[in-house]
Structure 1
Amino acid sequence: MSEQLPVINLMGPTASGKTALACELYERGGFELISVDSALVYKDMDIGTAKPTKDEQALFPHHLIDIISPLEVYSAAQFVDDACVLIDDIHQRGKTPILVGGTMLYFKALLEGLSTNLPGADATVRAEIEAKAEQEGWEAVYAELCAVDVLAGEKFKVSDRQRIIRALEVYKLTGQPITKLQAEQPKNVPYRYTFHNHALLPDRLELHKRIEKRLEIMWKIGFLNEVEDLIKKYDLNENLPSMRAVGYRQVLEFLYNGDRSLKKIQEMEDKALFATRQLAKRQYTWLRSLQESHNFQTYLTIKQAQEDLRNCYG
């Protein structure tokens, strides 16, 4: 068997400082950066995603940024396919790939592989499920899922709308529970790589301060205007994956509501802050789960991470 090639995974919740760390490593030479972020794939979504600026990208090029429009869908399976091609290309150039981001589902898919042969998304089936939710409420849709897939019902909550849609979609397309299919199907694990996993896990209170500061800057530099421009350019709606990104969902709701009063602006900003904190909480949970199955180096502070990464990759 040929020697397994190294892949550096640099993970962390939003606003933890992982991108700056990756760029510092990149400067030492011998590395290329691959973005692991489900929001950075979208063109024209720059401020609300904290996307590296054009100047920053010129200095620190990232693969898998600005690859699709906000109207398109990008899945974990597509990410794994794209990332593996890039990883192989980078190794052929004699360099080491650094995967940096906060979309833990993508990292999990890369580390553990994906169940194969599950049906792809079906727009008609999804539309039927969403129509039922609109007419009868999500509780009714959740009850339907519980009736056909008890295990999924135990794993999901009523608020897990996308997971409920996917589980019901698979059942309607195959006649079998998604949990049964996932348990039975083999995993497609890219064994040819050796993953070196590093995670920034800052103190929650410190992270909340960073999140609040980042959002304050986003509002000042024109996040609201960015979403207004997106609405003019694209036929957007709240069900698009791009518009389910934290911040964008809250701004879109505010703009479509039509009330531009200071009170409503403050409500929008508060909702975006809360949603971002909830995202960070979910990212912590994902990371803790991944740590149970994979070797990790974790850091409480950026300084700790810098020192260790210098020692590891000099």
Structure 2
Amino acid sequence: MGYSALANVFSYTNLVHAVAGAVGSVVSMIVFYPLDTARTRLQVDDKRKANHTPTVIADIISQEGFTALYRGLVPVLTTISCSYFVYFYTYNCLKTAFIGKEKPSSIKDLSFAFIAGVVNVLVTTPLWVVNTRLKLQGAIMETEDLHDNQHAKYRGILDCLVKVARQEGVWSLWNGTKPSIVLASNPAIHFMVYEAVKRYFQHAFNQTELSGLVYFVIGAIAKTVATVLTYPLQVIQSRMRVRYRQSNNSSSTWDALMDIARTHGMSGLYKGMEAKLLQTVFTAALMFMVYEKLTAATFRMMGLAYVKPGQTLT
């Protein structure tokens, strides 16, 4: 790769896409955070009797107060902004380096999105482990081995990182990495479907920039497909992040899946999916709408036409 190609990869264009993706993720998470709180509780609390999102939210409010719905918001926003920045930047750099002016395809979108997902997992998993611990800290849990969560252990992201590394070993910060790497297929499928449907609408409407509503709908469709296909792995991921050393009881992701299926039936693999669909579909839809509009607005402010990954500024 020559200097010119390298300059295109580490370009202002890719930086704009990465920052816009990070901002979009923060905006959407703030709006739909209570749904994420409900989803996490359903995934990790085996004994919780409520199975529907509104009921779980009502229980949390009655038992812990309204502010409990936003417990751990700051760590989540820190983590998700870093995660989406890494993801969008890596994804767009790959498209710039390997597609350029070539015709895009769903297979290329899937491949680049998966690689970006793996890079993102390896870089940001410690932040997600900490985020899950902080989000459940102080929560009233019905599962016996999670009762200790009611007592505060961590003062913030840095304190949690240090204590987990010191008390449980550095590699505990990468708990859930295996299912997370497999789950890189989720954003890969998401991006593949999103890009394919977006290209369809761009061709149908004969325009590069679509309306905010269309971007919202495309994001929702893409995330629904990705979530339904990969949800059982997300349940395993959440449990491995929160259960400390117990996460090592299962020798593999497959063993963990089978253990849940034996103990709670196949429905246990999809526990909390209603909350996950509500949270992730609306969050992804709003995130992509903000991302697309913010990217286009930034380029307009610079007096430039909308620049896709793989194009250079002129």
TM over 0.5: no
Compare the two structures and name the one with the higher helix fraction.
2
Compare the two structures and name the one with the higher strand fraction.
1
